[in-house]
Chains A and B, each alone.
Chain A
Amino acid sequence: MSPVGIQNLEGHPEFDVTWPWTRPGGLRPGATAVLRVKDEARSLPWVLPPLLRATDHVLVVDNGSTDGTAEVTAETAEKAGLAHKLTQATYPFQVARAGAEHLAQPERSVHSLSYFYNWCFAQVQTRYSWKWDGDMVLTTEGEVSIGDLGWQVGDVQTIIRVPRHGLYLESESKGYLDLGLRNAEEWGFPIGPDFVFAKAYEWEIRTTPDPVRSIGLPHGLCVELKYLDGDEFAHWTDPASFATSYRNKRKRREWTVYNALLEGTVLPGVHEITAPDGAHIVDHVTQEWLPRAPRPLEVGLPELAPGSPAQQALARREAAG
């Protein structure tokens, strides 16, 4: 990796990575949300408006969508009156799916998840970034929290963790919110040479200096949309692979909840929620149900906690191969 960027192995110079802090003029203050999307046209009308309001800029990188994602993205930003904060880009290469396919790819290949992420974040022009997914929707509290931290962070070199909760959609008025798992992932990162993407076992990982500061937001600020009539695990090489992996506890929980709901079972920790007449379930959960839910929010089943006997047994099984 050179100080100015990364050349890809396949020899596509137009998709080489040029680190944004080396560009003339450097980085400007503020925060950019980066979404790598593939066929997220259904979710983006909920995802984008709060994100556009909360950040200085939103970059949506499309990777092979066939459902009109780019058009929906543009329309949504326009409708919110925030098209000036949106940039769209296209990454034309097929990117390895998480798991075995990713593991087989060299880090500098255009097909590698790490390379893809480095290329995406190299387009950012602000000093801070949010890694965001095309199905993550902020609640009202989440929006104002992300909005404040985006300017408060300034030049502080810190990571910000954002908990999220799966919201499984059955219809426009009914959904299931999974508060069974305590899970907060690192979504906020400074843009700079200490924070680039490298290869990890199932997917990419962002490098960090040692020591590094890290803060976490409270639970109940972000939901991840899941569609009970869709294929939620298409981006995995083999969905069965995380059924037994301790490291993939979030995916494993999603797999369990999703399949139980398809069979008509609402597992402990999952809340069945019906929106009032005229309200969409996503709006209801993010603007009413979660913001007004009693605090501290009851999140996390004891048996899913990392130190629980069940999880320890799983970790031991995995360590034993």
Chain B
Amino acid sequence: MTELSLTDPTTYPRKVLFVAGAGRSGTSTMAGLMRIMGLHVPQPEVVADETNPKGFGEPRWVVDHHDRLLKEAVVQVSDSRPEAWFETGRVATREHERIATAEWLESHFRVSTELVVKDPRLGWFLGLWRVAAVRTGATPVFATMLREPSEVVGSKQTYYANRLGSAHLAASWLNMMLHTERGTRESVADGGRVFVRYGDLLDDWVKTSMHVAETLQLQHVLHADSEQIREGHRFVDPGLRRMSQTLADLNLPSQLHQLTAATWDELNKLADKGGDTPAVHEALDQLREAYVDLYEESAAISRSSAVAAEQRIKRQRDLVPAGPGARGADRIPHGVRAAIPPSVRRGLRKVAGRDRPQGAQ
């Protein structure tokens, strides 16, 4: 094995930092800072826009990859269903997806020894990325951003003009955070995890990023030079935290409100020094179970809405081909119709009681 040299990044062991957490919770700031300190954001990446003026730090391929996998799993980015985790996990067991993910990672390790991968959809596929890291001889490490649920929900409603109710967004936040915490617990392949409050990162990014680097042994950050630190100061804008509302402002149903508040309390403990303890894991296990129960109860109560929606879709599907003058033959693609021998077509028309239109070829 090559000996690690502090001044030669090519000797650093392969490591990939996955920045997880709900969208709009500071994941872009974390990924951006890590890039400034020397970790490599695989290129090309998603270009900045008005929702994130300083850039997303999201590799384009990763976003497209996750989008496609979510579609295959029939899971939304903000999905409050506990069983959605099995659906994305199932897709991640497919060998060709594991190969594609590992090959992509390998190609970027040829550029740099320490990578940072971030995407709000990442939480759904942490297991797939862990496997890809194993296959490329790298150590996966995880940084999960924490931001008050009231601010995340408020931020999403502002920036994405999301017409979904705050209850659904809060439930999706719970589902994402409770399971991301479970999915990043100690594993034989991992090099550790940290939880970072968005507020802490904005208040004192130097202290916070050093804590991340020390916990996860990110060599580029540990050995960053003064110009990189200056650039960090130019990059982090405490004004980024534009939202300030409380959980009470969301007017959530009381059980959901309580679960959200209790989950936020427990997640916060993980961000304290020495706070990632079995006692907190146990408390989060109970909250996850309570959330699953609440979701199942709510789904059972609202079953009629689901059935009605299924029936509406079915009716729309049935109505589409039956427009004015539509014939059974119209439902058959032209290419297939053309392949039917003329004699058979004539016979079918006769059976259907239809004459060939005048002048038609």
Contact = CB atoms under 8 A, between A and B. Distances in A.
B289 interface: yes
The B interface is mostly helix, strand or loop, or mixed, namely helix
Given A148-B127, A295-B95, A155 B83 contact: yes
A144 B130 contact: yes
Contact of A144 (B96, B131, B182, B285): B131
Contact of A141 (B99, B134, B296): B134
A284 to B, nearest CB: 15
Nearest to B102: A295
Interface string B178-210: 010011000111000000000000000000000
A155 B292 contact: yes
Contact of B134 (A156, A158, A219, A291): A291
A14 B190 CA distance: 44
B86 interface: yes
A274 B190 CA distance: 27
Contacts of A217: 93
B137 A292 contact: yes
Contact of B89 (A29, A148, A218, A295): A148
A292 B135 contact: yes
A298 to B, nearest CB: 12
B127 A144 contact: yes
Contact of B83 (A50, A140, A154, A291): A154
A147 B131 contact: no
B135 A296 contact: no
A295 B98 contact: yes
Contacts, number: 81
Contacts of A144: 127, 130-131, 134, 187-189
Contacts of A148: 89, 92, 126-127, 130, 183
Contact of B182 (A50, A141, A151, A219): A151
B42 interface: no
Interface in A187-226: 215-219
Q: How large is the interface on A (under 10, 10 to 19, 20 to 34, 35 or more residues)?
A: 20 to 34
A291 B285 CA distance: 31
Residue among B92, B93, B126 with most chain A CB within 10 A = B93
Contact of A295 (B90, B135, B188, B288): B135
A153 B93 contact: no
Residue among A28, A50, A147 with most chain B CB within 10 A = A147
Contacts of B89: 148-149, 152-153
B188 A143 contact: yes
A292 to B, nearest CB: 7
A145 B127 contact: yes
Interface string B282-304: 00010011001000100000000
A182 interface: no
B95 A218 contact: yes
Contacts of A292: 135, 137
Given A148-B183, A291-B135, A295-B99, A158 B86 contact: yes
Interface of B: 82-83, 85-86, 88-90, 92-96, 98-99, 102, 126-127, 130-131, 134-135, 137, 179, 182-183, 187-189, 285, 288-289, 292, 296
13 contacts: A29-B285, A29-B292, A50-B188, A53-B188, A144-B131, A148-B130, A151-B179, A153-B86, A153-B89, A155-B292, A155-B296, A156-B83, A295-B98
Given A29-B292, A140-B188, A295-B98, 7 more contacts: A143-B189, A148-B130, A151-B85, A154-B82, A154-B83, A215-B93, A291-B134
